[in-house]
């Protein structure tokens, strides 16, 4: 029998009974291939059934189990006890989001930001059903594919110091999503989205810290998307000087 254990500190907050968040410690059995998410499930099943956290797929696809592990935004299913043993692990809800309960955060603002960038294919004027399906070469797909891999986990918002300072900033995931549609050969909505980019809270809220790309579990690289969009916005600014709309 494996008798090794590891201590996990969890920041808890139950709005109906707690004045403010507090830390509660749990001791769970240490097994090399236990993920942080599985450790949380162990705590809920065996130690304290009142603890709340989000999860679904257990394999870094759904983007539900984002949390701060030792102050770094990570997916609970993609981090393992072995990476921390024998030290204790601190778990907190994602930074820069309001806490709903325990490790669950309110993602409303994030969802609204995603919606705000017109994240859908906007057809051109001449597009009609009878012209058949869109053709796309591998090269045309390569231009946006990376930015389409986002699972909306929100880790980049927890990492972004600019979003933390001013949450009017549209933020990394939403801007990467904007780039994903902007760079798609089937889309003709660039002019509409350009107005969103050009704002102070659009791409210009970013100072290229790059932490969003470091923590991204799907290698989307939102920082790169934003820098590419800054170039587009700058070109549009120059054109706007000579041809105001």
Q: Which of residues 83-122 bind another protein (CB under 8 A)?
A: 115-116
Alpha-carbon distance of 239 to 179, in angstroms, equals: 20
In the complex, least distance from residue 199 CB atom to another protein, rounded to whole angstroms:
6
In the complex, least distance from residue 183 CB atom to another protein, rounded to whole angstroms:
20
Among 186, 199, 214, 224, binds another protein (CB under 8 A): 199
Question: Does residue 196 touch another protein according to CB under 8 A?
Answer: yes
Angle in degrees, CA 62, 25, 2, rounded to 5 = 80
In the complex, least distance from residue 212 CB atom to another protein, rounded to whole angstroms:
15
Instruction: Return the SS3 of 22.
Output: strand
Identity of the residue, 145 or 195, whose beta carbon is nearer to another protein in the bound complex = 195
Site string for another protein, 216-245 (x = CB under 8 A): --------------x--xx--xx-x-----
Identity of the residue, 135 or 207, whose beta carbon is nearer to another protein in the bound complex = 207
Structure tokens at 163: 């979003």
Q: What is the DSSP string of 119-161?
A: -S----TT--GGG-SPP--HHHHHHHHGGG------HHHHH-H
Question: Does residue 15 touch another protein according to CB under 8 A?
Answer: no
Stretch that binds another protein, among 46-54, 131-139, 196-204, 213-221 (CB under 8 A): 196-204
Stretch that binds another protein, among 4-12, 25-33, 55-63, 198-206 (CB under 8 A): 198-206
Site string for another protein, 123-162 (x = CB under 8 A): --------------------------------------x-
Alpha-carbon distance of 89 to 28, in angstroms, equals: 11
Among 202, 217, 221, 228, binds another protein (CB under 8 A): 202
The pairs formed by 186-193 with CB atoms below 8 angstroms and a separation of 24 or more are 186/121, 186/123, 186/134, 186/136, 187/121, 187/122, 188/122, 188/123, 188/124, 188/125, 188/127, 189/118, 189/121, 189/122, 190/232, 192/118, 192/122, 193/117, 193/118
Q: CB atoms < 10 A from the CB of 6, how many?
A: 20
Chain positions contacting another protein, by CB under 8 A: 115-116, 161, 165, 195-196, 198-200, 202, 204, 207, 230, 233-234, 237-238, 240
């Amino acid at each position: 029998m494996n008798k090794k254990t590891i201590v996990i500190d969890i920041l808890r907050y139950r709005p109906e009974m707690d004045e403010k968040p507090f830390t509660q410690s749990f001791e769970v059995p240490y097994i090399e291939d236990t993920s942080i998410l599985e450790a949380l499930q162990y705590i809920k099943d065996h130690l304290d059934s009142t603890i709340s956290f989000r999860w679904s797929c257990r394999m870094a696809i759904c983007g539900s189990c984002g949390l701060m592990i030792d102050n770094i935004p990570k997916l609970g299913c993609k981090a393992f006890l072995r990476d921390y043993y024998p030290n204790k692990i601190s778990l907190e809800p994602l930074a820069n989001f309001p806490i709903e309960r325990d490790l669950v955060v309110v993602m409303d603002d994030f969802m609204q930001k995603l919606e705000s960038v017109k994240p859908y294919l906007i057809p051109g004027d001449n597009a009609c059903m009878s012209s058949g399906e869109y053709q796309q070469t591998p090269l045309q797909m390569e231009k946006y594919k990376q930015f389409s891999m986002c699972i909306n986990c929100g880790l980049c918002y927890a990492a972004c110091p600019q979003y933390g300072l001013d949450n009017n900033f549209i933020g990394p995931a939403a801007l990467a999503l904007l780039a994903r549609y902007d760079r798609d050969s089937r889309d003709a909505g660039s002019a509409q989205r350009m107005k969103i980019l050009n704002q102070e809270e659009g791409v210009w809220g970013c100072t290229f810290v790059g932490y969003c790309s470091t923590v991204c579990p799907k290698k989307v690289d939102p920082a790169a998307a934003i820098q590419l969009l800054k170039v587009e916005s700058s070109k549009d600014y120059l054109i706007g000087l000579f041809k105001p709309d």
